[in-house]
Amino acid sequence: MSGPTAVGPRVAIIGAGLSGLAMAMAMQDAGMQGFTIFEKAQDVGGTWRENQYPGLTCDVPGRFYQFHDAPNPDWSHRYAAGWEIHRYIRRVVSDRGLAPHIRFGSEVTEARWEDDHWHLRTSDGDEHTADVVVAATGVLHQPRLPSIDGMATFAGPSFHSARWQHDVPLEGKRIAVVGTGSTSAQIVGALAGTASHIDVYQRSRHWVVEMPNPRYSRLTRALLRRFPRLNMLGYHAHRAVLFDWLAQGVVEPGLARRVFQGIARRNFAKHVQDPELRAQIEPDYPPLCKRLIIAPNYLTALQRPDVDLVTEHIDRIEPEGIRTRDGALHRADVIVYATGFDAAAFMRPMAITGRDGLTLAEAWEDGPRAYRSVALPGFPNLFTLQGPHSPVGNYSLVRIAETQVHFVMEWLRQMRAGEITAVAPREDATDAYYRDLRAAIPNTVWDTGCRSWYHDAEGNVQLWPWTAKRHREMLAHPIPEHFEIERPAVADAALSPSG
């Protein structure tokens, strides 16, 4: 990376997904060009590059899943397909001229705070120095495979949904889909009728809302191109009417929660009228306790004659298929593991060492934590986007990232002005924040009797327990008293009595 410049501190952004690009765009807008984006892959896009399975669709409407300063008038449907979001991200990179700032194929394996700077090492052995590190590594980026006996013995293709093998033919094949989360729902809905048969292996039950995904007309898209403000009206309408209200419903008991739970129950009952199937798949916990699955045709697909729900636990994998604990062998040509991700990975497996040799493993010995989701005590000038306890369970990840980026920019502006050189949250301020956070958890719907990736191994909720509006308010401006701040020696002298 280049040396210090007049346009701002040297910033290493780790990850060229939506969060990393939001950070880069904000620096660009502020006239700060001293940033480099380190991307482990050969393309941008983050999760929308990694996940390319059939039926992939975002469960947040496209008009609320876009950068505030880069509205897209060309979404084809209300809920955009994965390839469409990936194309949008690429276009933003091109339009904003960000490509020269990106180092592709450069996975950061180590980051070490030493001599008041960050020293980075990448997988190819290169070393880089930065004043600030912004970890935009995403929430769900480390695929989690189940531990099932005999997985390596299967004679056909098998893969995780985030490592889709597009060269594997699926038409007329018997496909086993392990898992019943949102990824599984989308895959099953997309492949039902293409495969000769699909077995869906249910590990846990989920509330599914079968919602249509209407196409935007040519006229609508033309109007949005001609009048960009209409696009932003849609953005703010989705935020205020749907997501801010939904966010209130998941974190506070009251009308909003009752309304959304009632909608989910009625939708489920409408689409699953077979009492036997309903008894097999209807959850015993209230809607919203886990993230609602929005799928246009999953419940319908489950009722097709060529789709079977397997509720018996898997015993082992054999060359011909999957054998369940009742002794039955379910033959398969292809196995897809729709088994999710390590939700607690965050920056890991990157090795990060902060002040006085403090490692991330030591700091997170009792679980991931960060001051207000964006910074870690003992790690100066390290900021996290979509970090621990971010509001990822009920909101647009793009909007969350932009809120966190605004907070980071407040500090970067002070660094550019020469007012500070390093900043990290105080341990006592972080402890106080976590006391408030833990006290608020019981009010949330996530603490009402279910387990999901929203929880840690001990069952503790790992999400922001307040509204997204409060997230914006708490990150609107840094509170200096909550931070350990290092200032330039010249500035200290000027502030001293003898100065």
327/348 same-domain check: no
Q: Which CATH number fits the domain that encloses residue 114?
A: 3.50.50.60
pLDDT of residue 1: 47
Per-residue pLDDT band at 62 (split at 50, 70, 90)? confident
pLDDT of residue 479: 97
129/159 same-domain check: no
pLDDT of residue 77: 94
pLDDT of residue 235: 63
Average confidence (pLDDT) over 348-376: 95
323/351 same-domain check: no
At 87-133, the pLDDT tens digits run 999 999 999 999 999 999 999 999 999 999 999 999 989 999 999 99
194 has a pLDDT exceeding 60: yes
At 161-188, the pLDDT tens digits run 999 999 999 999 999 999 999 999 999 9
190/61 same-domain check: no
201/329 same-domain check: yes
333/348 same-domain check: no
Give 15 or 346, the one with higher predicted confidence. 15
Name the domain boundary from 337, 370, 405. Answer: 337
The proportion of the chain whose per-residue pLDDT surpasses 90, expressed as a percent, equals 79
pLDDT of residue 218: 93
Question: Is 181 within a domain?
Answer: yes
pLDDT of residue 224: 85
Average confidence (pLDDT) over 480-491: 89
186/304 same-domain check: yes
389 has a pLDDT exceeding 80: yes
295/270 same-domain check: yes
At 425-442, the pLDDT tens digits run 999 999 999 999 999 999
Question: Is 488 within a domain?
Answer: yes
Cα separation, 425 vs 321, whole angstroms:
52
At 199-256, the pLDDT tens digits run 999 989 999 999 889 999 999 889 888 887 777 676 666 666 666 777 788 899 999 8
* Full domain range(s) for residue 422: 11-142+343-495
Question: Is 238 within a domain?
Answer: no
Q: What's the domain count of the chain?
A: 2
297 has a pLDDT exceeding 70: yes
Average confidence (pLDDT) over 266-288: 95
483 has a pLDDT exceeding 50: yes
At 437-482, the pLDDT tens digits run 999 999 999 999 898 888 888 888 999 999 888 999 999 999 999 9
185/138 same-domain check: no
pLDDT of residue 90: 98
Structural Rg of the chain based on CA atoms: 24
What's the whole-number average pLDDT of the chain?
92
Name the domain boundary from 292, 311, 337. Answer: 337
